[in-house]
Amino acid sequence: MSNALASTPAIDALSGSASSVLALYLIYPLDTIKVRYQVQNSKDHHAYSGIFDAFKKILASEGLQGLYRGLGSSLINQATTGYIYFYFYSYIKTNYRRITKVEANKGLSTLAELAIGAVSGMLCQCFTLPLNVIATRQQTSSSKSQESIVDVIREIIEIDGILGLWKGFKPTMVLCINPAITYGVFERTKTMLLERKSKNTDITSAYLLPSEAFAAGALSKTLATVVTYPYITAKTRLMWRPSKEEVEKFGDDVIYKDTTDVLKKTFKIAGVAGLYKVKF
């Protein structure tokens, strides 16, 4: 009985959701700074020059509560996203094992794990992206306009229609392939290192040292982040809504139609650095 309970999608989902919420609560001020830094216009003289500068300016102008703006909706988003993702992951994995007749005590191939994770992430975002949009709107709102979740939803629907709750859908789907890129680069790097070690030592069963495995993993994750990070910036900017003052000041530069429009305008204004809007 205990084994059955431990392996159900609902139990796995609850566990994943709880850990995700705790992690977000601990790093939320950094998340707020990251989001605000990503949507600011490079032409703004009051723009943050880096993470530490953003931290000081938010504290000075809005107090500690400025760093936790939208915390409630963000926690709801994280809890819901974590639960739905892990539920889908566990459900799909269980049925994949059943269809392919893979025994429960045997691991799946890395390719299968990655595919299950990507599909789970995409399905999850179809349901939870509106919560992310709401949280982003609250995080980037000024201290003068602290809207409730209901107010944000009403404003989005009035201006952009019901589909406005799914702003940033396309870049979000692209970001689901990040783990696959990481794995692909890691496997290629590992193969190259092993081939080199085998040639130098004449040992056909060469293996990676812990330091080499760590370096390969770090390189893989870094490259995957470099490839997909502009889509994180695009996703955040599409979810964000500039204030009337920002529209009057920057005009078309802060009004985006789609992912391509975000990337083009950001590159035109700030170059490659603008696509990677986080620095210390």
Q: What is the pLDDT of residues 144-193, one digit of tens each?
A: 566 788 999 999 999 999 999 999 999 999 998 888 888 888 888 888 88
Q: What is the pTM of this model?
A: 0.76
How far is residue 262's CA from residue 257's CA, in Å, rounded to a whole number? 8
Q: Name the average pLDDT for the chain.
A: 83
Residue 148 φ/ψ region, left for φ over 0, alpha for ψ in the -120 to 50 degree band, beta for the rest = beta
CA-CA distance, 42 to 274, in Å (whole number)? 8
Question: Is 2-274 assigned to CATH 3.20.20.140?
Answer: no
Average pLDDT over every residue of 218-232: 89
If you compute the radius of gyration of the chain from its CA atoms, what whole number of angstroms results?
A: 22
Q: Tell me: the pLDDT tens digits for 76-99?
A: 888 888 888 888 988 998 899 889
Q: Where are the domains of the chain?
A: 2-274
d(CA 90, CA 24) in angstroms, rounded, equals 22
